[in-house]
Structure 1
Amino acid sequence: MPRHPWLSLAAILGWSGLSVQVYLVLLARWQEQASLIGGLINVFGFFTILTNTLVASVLSYAAFGHPSAAKRWFLSPAVSSGIAASIALVALAYSLLLRHLWHPQGWQWLADELLHDVMPLLFVMYWWRVVPKGSLRFWHLGLWSLYPALYFAFALWRGHEIGVYPYPFIDVAELGYAQVLVNALAVLAGFWGIGLLILSLDRWQGRRLAEARAHSR
């Protein structure tokens, strides 16, 4: 796979956004004399942070990585496309459900923009320009769905254990299980819509490239 210079900047931005967010969380915990380990567990309990970590990993392998089994796995079309669907969900859900709930300032604003707006855009651009097209199948959507589904189950279990939920639309204490289930299914439906779009674009682009190669012979 050819390397693109802009991928280096994208990878750096990805890790920078994560670093700023983790620093801010740990700083707040330090000032409150709370557990720093607990702060790390909390911050990596967010779907946004987990997915941005996957995004930064893929971009790093694409920009800098040496040949390895991990690089082949992360850069495979099936895995990169699933991560693209997940980070697109992050951007969509944040804009529709969460952005209006707070107005971050300073460094928190920077982290917020990088994690929810800049990195989703850059990774979708990476998927479109770099990831090979034409190999995805409909059953890949089922595999991709395991990630948000397992995250949801984990978030509910953890929230039940400690009484804290990472997102207000899955806060069982406030909404009850019935409404939380409806909200989760709506988010999952959004993920399926994104996934179907990715599958359609992959098929269209793969067919177009195959026809171009056939005509060039």
Structure 2
Amino acid sequence: MKKYVEIAIVLIAWFALILQLIILKDSLANYFSYFTILSNLLVAISLTPKLLASATSFGKRFSLPKTKSAIALYIFIVGLVYNLVLRGIWEPKGWQLVADNLLHVVVPLAYFSYWVVFVNKISLVWKDMISWTYFPLVYLAYSLIRGYFVNWYPYPFLDVNKFGYQQVLINTFFVVLAFISIGLAMIYYNKLMTRNR
């Protein structure tokens, strides 16, 4: 059952990423500057070697509960932020609507459910949360620095031209707070489930 779920998630994630690339109306650099794309890529890349080459060091690294949990956190945030904050600001049509829902709804729900049901999380500890924040912090810094030079920001809440640095820093603070809060909740949930077994 687990393997079939992994295959389904891999196929959906790669299809969504390729579809979004095909219908891209922006530059390739901008495509890879969305946290949505990077997180879905992590989902696809993490499960692909596990299915095709699980014995390799690359495959083993992505099989670690700590790594899978980090990816589950990232993709959960993708779904949460998009559907609570960003969904109402535009109306995708046709294939863009398909890609949009796959990247922001289907893959996040599928992978997070996979994490809840199938990932052996017993080895997770509180300090794992520290390393989980590296990727989003680097991403936020990259987005703001790149945005300064190219005058383009991937998400409205990062748009310095519209909100100014003070408000954007406040926005990023709440985004980071969401990462930390949900990550700690994931670890707490795991410890609670482990204790009740």
Instruction: Assess same fold via TM > 0.5.
Output: yes
Q: Distance in 2 between matches of 1:15 and 1:65?
A: 17
Q: Distance in 2 between matches of 1:203 and 1:9?
A: 28
Partner of 2:172: 184
The letter of the residue matching 1:4 is: K
The letter of the residue matching 2:141 is: A
Between 1:162-171 and 1:188-197, the stretch displaced more is 188-197
Match of 1:146 among 116, 134, 137: 134
Partner of 1:214: none
Q: Distance in 2 between matches of 1:208 and 1:173?
A: 50
Between 1:70-79 and 1:151-160, the stretch displaced more is 70-79
Aligned length: 197
CA shift, 1:3, in A, is 4.7
* Alignment deviations for residues 89-128 of structure 1 (CA, whole Å, 9 cap, x no partner): 1111101211000111110001000000000011111111
Q: Distance in 1 between matches of 2:76 and 2:139?
A: 16
Q: Does 1:173 align with 2:161?
A: yes
Q: Distance in 1 between matches of 2:122 and 2:128?
A: 13
Alpha-carbon distance change, 61 to 199 in structure 1, aligned in 2, over 3 angstroms: same
Match of 2:149 among 146, 161, 167: 161
Report the TM-score when normalising by structure 2. 0.95
Alignment of 1:1-217 (within 5 A): 3-25=2-24, 28=25, 39-209=27-197
* Structure 2 counterpart SS, 1:134: coil
| 5+ long unaligned stretches in structure 1 | 30-38, 210-217
Which protein has the larger Cα radius of gyration, Structure 1 or Structure 2?
Answer: 1
8 Å contact from structure 1 (residues 141, 195) kept in 2: yes
8 Å contact from structure 1 (residues 134, 205) kept in 2: no
Report the TM-score when normalising by structure 1. 0.86
* Alignment deviations for residues 6-44 of structure 1 (CA, whole Å, 9 cap, x no partner): 22111100000000001111xx36xxxxxxxxx221100
8 Å contact from structure 2 (residues 158, 168) kept in 1: yes
The letter of the residue matching 1:161 is: F
Kindly report structure 1 stretches of 4+ aligned residues shifted beyond 6 Å: none
